[in-house]
Structure 1
Amino acid sequence: MTLATKHARDIAVAGIDVGGSKKGCHLVILRGREIAQVATSTDAAVLHAHCVAADVAVVGIDAPCQWGVEGAGRGAERERIACFATPTQARAEANTSGFYEWMFNGERVYRAFATSHPVLRTNRYEGAPASIETFPHAITCALLGRDAVSAKLKRVQRRHALAQLGFDVAQLRSIDDLDAALCAYTAQCLIDGRARAYGDANGGFIFVPA
């Protein structure tokens, strides 16, 4: 059965909130409004195995899908998305504070998914398994209809946004789980043709609910 003939509730999607090496990454797999799986791992290969086992179609990842370009940046980050500016790989490697550790972990996640779910390089879904970059803050803004949401209230606001969509948020025990679920929901929106793409093919796209 192809994705085109499957009912939306039968299509599995995933979201991954990328963290530092100590905290690891949080994974949420959705089928329709059902939260099918919640998991945590420091190993990108484990996350990939969960998604392959669940026959996930699209994976939304909260991490840059590529490094910045010196002097140019990324188009998606120059548009109306409030997020960290992605440095060049050389600048990230030269930084000794450890701040960019999560970006290197994100790179490992994309690499683990590359053969089965390559990064989507177009601004809309074309039916094949794919990974996409997304960003929980921008997702929440889109869902709540605001240009900005409160960092202090992000747990409450993100839980409320998911509950309003019909998800059982009691299964999502941390802000990282909530963020992973938001990323997975954006993957659903992409499949349904309800996602907006920021950026371009050269700098990589960031997707949020339309």
Structure 2
Amino acid sequence: MTPRTVAGIDVGGDRKGNHLVILRGTDVVCNLSGTTPEQMLEECRAFEVAAVGIDAPCRWRTGAAGRVAEKALAQRRIFSFATPARELALASKSGFYGWMFNGERVYDAFAAHFPLFSGGKRITGRVCFETFPHAITCAFLGTDVASAKQKGPQRRAILAREGIETAPLRSIDDVDAALCALAARYLLEGSVDTYGDESGGFIVVPKL
């Protein structure tokens, strides 16, 4: 049986840029950095990718309450950047939210060919979804072990444990994109935990 092809995208700000890793089984068949959303979509279509994990919020906060997905993960001591309302992000002078706007551009570019995951266990077509490397690391190692200070070796070790060759992954951004691709494989296999709701978007994490 031919292994299905999956992709992961590490979204960065304008300086760092985006990183794309495509996995076919355990093989890294594409590894690109500094690419536009449209270029990444072209590569994913060319390699017949089935699912794309994206390290960026898929929805902005609406109303006074935060996103359900982020709150649910925080209850499990898995913390992420709080996504603001879009108008607040636009009004910010710090430039911090630039990567979230870049993520928005990625989802917009992929939407027609990789519809956003809307919950449920059964994946019937191509899909993209939100995930993030720290949550993936916590799923594999536990929240008490996952460490920002050790993220390089810990995350490479997870990929190696899954049989993925890490030598082509030159930076932590490449590693993080590969972890997002790994989450996509788990989604296709139906082995994931999902957090959130349809209005605020879902965050998908491997379930071991």
Q: Same fold (TM over 0.5)?
A: yes
Please state how far the C-alpha of 1:116 moved relative to its aligned partner.
0.2
Please state how far the C-alpha of 1:19 moved relative to its aligned partner.
0.2
Name the aligned partner's letter for residue 199 of structure 2: N
Number of the residue aligned with 1:124 = 121
Counterpart check, 1:171 vs 2:171? no
CA distance in 2, matches of 1:89, 1:125: 31
Q: Deviations over 1:23-46 (max 9, x none)?
A: 210000001111111011341100
Number of the residue aligned with 1:142 = 139
Counterpart check, 1:43 vs 2:23? no
CA distance in 2, matches of 1:201, 1:31: 29
For the 8 Å contact 1:123–1:205, the answer to whether it is kept is no
Aligned counterpart for 2:45 among listed residues 46, 49, 52: 52
Number of the residue aligned with 1:65 = 58
Name the aligned partner's letter for residue 137 of structure 2: T
Number of the residue aligned with 1:113 = 110
CA distance in 1, matches of 2:145, 2:24: 29
Number of the residue aligned with 2:182 = 185
Please state how far the C-alpha of 1:148 moved relative to its aligned partner.
5.3
Number of the residue aligned with 1:26 = 19
CA distance in 1, matches of 2:39, 2:84: 27
Please state how far the C-alpha of 1:123 moved relative to its aligned partner.
3.3
Number of the residue aligned with 1:83 = 80
CA distance in 2, matches of 1:125, 1:22: 37
For the 8 Å contact 1:68–1:203, the answer to whether it is kept is yes
CA distance in 2, matches of 1:167, 1:77: 29
Number of the residue aligned with 1:154 = 151
For the aligned residue pairs, the C-alpha RMSD in angstroms reads: 1.2
Number of the residue aligned with 2:7 = 14
Please state how far the C-alpha of 1:147 moved relative to its aligned partner.
4.3
Q: Deviations over 1:4-39 (max 9, x none)?
A: xxx3x5311000000011221000000111111101
Name the aligned partner's letter for residue 181 of structure 2: A
For the 8 Å contact 1:10–1:32, the answer to whether it is kept is yes
TM-score by length of 2: 0.94
Unpaired segments ≥5 residues, structure 1: 1-6
CA distance in 2, matches of 1:146, 1:97: 30
Q: Deviations over 1:124-169 (max 9, x none)?
A: 3422101100010000011113345211111111011111111111
Name the aligned partner's letter for residue 163 of structure 1: A
Unpaired segments ≥5 residues, structure 2: none
Number of the residue aligned with 1:4 = none
For the 8 Å contact 1:22–1:42, the answer to whether it is kept is no
Aligned residues: 203
